[in-house]
């Protein structure tokens, strides 16, 4: 619970001053990876569900956990796989896509760190991800 509270305080600290600049400078909330050295910081896998079968149906991937001032940075479709790295209220910080050598979500130093790997990443609504697949 303290982690969620501290992340929400950070989120509001970023959002309120930036509201006037949101159109020119979209905010991003990084996905934080936690864990021990050698552990996968995003061990929970999930599948995108209940988006719709229409070709134009998609789950937007946001640059932060919420609507404005965050923007759409990607799109996922039913059946797409994601790695869940972080949970913040009804939002999930996810890593998705493929890289030749993997998404590099293994913790290399024993501190909380921002995901900087080669795969796409962002925030999606938790209700559209069936998590728990290892």
> Does the structural domain 2-133 have CATH classification 2.30.30.40?
yes
Answer with the residue of higher pLDDT: 69 or 10.
69
Q: What is the pLDDT of residues 78-109, one digit of tens each?
A: 999 999 999 999 999 999 988 877 898 888 88
DSSP state of 100: T
Give the pLDDT confidence of 18-32 residue by residue, as tens digits: 433 333 344 589 999
Q: Domain boundaries in the chain? A: 2-133
Task: Examine the pLDDT at 133 and tell me if it is beyond 70.
Answer: no
Q: Which of 18, 46, 44, 47 is nearest to 33 (CA)?
A: 44
Q: What is the pLDDT of residues 8-18, one digit of tens each?
A: 444 444 444 44
Alpha-carbon distances of 13 from 19, 37, 44, 75, rounded to whole Å: 11, 30, 29, 27
């Amino acid at each position: 619970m303290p982690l969620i509270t501290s992340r929400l305080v950070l989120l509001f600290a970023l959002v309120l001053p930036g509201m006037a600049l949101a159109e020119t400078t979209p905010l991003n909330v990084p996905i934080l990876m936690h864990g021990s050295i050698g552990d996968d910081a995003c061990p929970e896998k999930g599948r995108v569900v209940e988006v719709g079968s229409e070709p134009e149906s998609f789950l937007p991937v946001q640059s932060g956990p919420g609507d404005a001032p965050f923007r759409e940075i990607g799109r996922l479709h039913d059946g797409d796989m994601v790695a869940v790295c972080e949970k913040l209220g009804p939002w999930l910080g996810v890593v998705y896509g493929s890289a030749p050598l993997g998404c590099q979500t293994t913790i290399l130093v024993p501190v909380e760190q921002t995901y900087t790997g080669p795969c796409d990443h962002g925030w999606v609504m938790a209700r559209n991800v069936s998590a728990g697949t290892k």
